Amino acid sequence: MAESLRVHSPALAIAADIAAEEQVKRAVETAIQEFGFISVLINNAGIELNGSVTELSAAEWDRQIAVNLRGAFLMSRHAIPAMRERGGSIIHISSVHAFVSWAGCAAYDATKAGLLGLTRAMALDHGPDGIRVNAICPGYIDTPLMEKWLASVPDRGATMREVLSAHPLGRIGTPRDVAQAALFLASDAASFISGTFLVVDGAMSAAGH
């Protein structure tokens, strides 16, 4: 499975609001019509709206929950019926924020911790269907979300040096690092792994950061 995922799978882009059920439903139906089945679902959509619970508006809180947590629920809800026939793998992209918090990240941390609870519950509920459910918890990854954060700090260089010093491996992660972890969890090499999470953070959290 790993080889086929890496090399041979055709691509289909479908635009949808991950928090809108009808759009999610249509996206899943379109994918099934195109490919005939779904064997792997990776719930990767996410946003980060910073602030404490007193700084965030109720609308900002709701939007964070809608995209990061409700989106994973809706995608899973509509994909699982199509996965039951042949089984498969669902992977939620959580974060080290699920268990290591930073100030001003109340809503983000809540959603990422919620994904781990959802992972465990879904693994129990859908294991009998032959569906494995796991989560990946990335640390600092070189993405547009991180770039947006770096652009907002007073001293980008000093902040980046601080970030790098927190990583025993001496670098931040790349999207490829996370993709390779997802590829492993989706493959037959992980056929007995379900209900757990894989930390991809260059030992940052192990170092106490």
Condensed to tens digits (0 to 9), the pLDDT of residues 139-161 reads 999 988 888 888 888 999 999 99
CATH code linked to domain 2-8+15-137+177-200: 3.40.50.720
Distance separating alpha carbons of residues 134 and 202, to the nearest angstrom: 19
Q: Has residue 4 got a pLDDT over 70? A: no
Q: Looking at the annotation, which residues are catalytic? A: 108, 112
Start-end of H helices in 1-155: 2-3, 21-35, 58-65, 71-83, 106-126, 144-152
Q: Which of 125, 30, 25 is nearest to 75 (CA)?
A: 25
Distance separating alpha carbons of residues 130 and 132, to the nearest angstrom: 7
- Average pLDDT of the chain to the nearest whole number: 91
Residues 6+ apart with CB under 8 A from 165: none
pLDDT of residue 158: 93
Query: pTM of the full predicted structure?
Result: 0.90
Q: Has residue 8 got a pLDDT over 80? A: no
Count CA within 13 A, CB hemisphere, residue 107. 24
Q: What is the mean pLDDT of residues 12-22?
A: 92
Count CA within 13 A, CB hemisphere, residue 198. 20
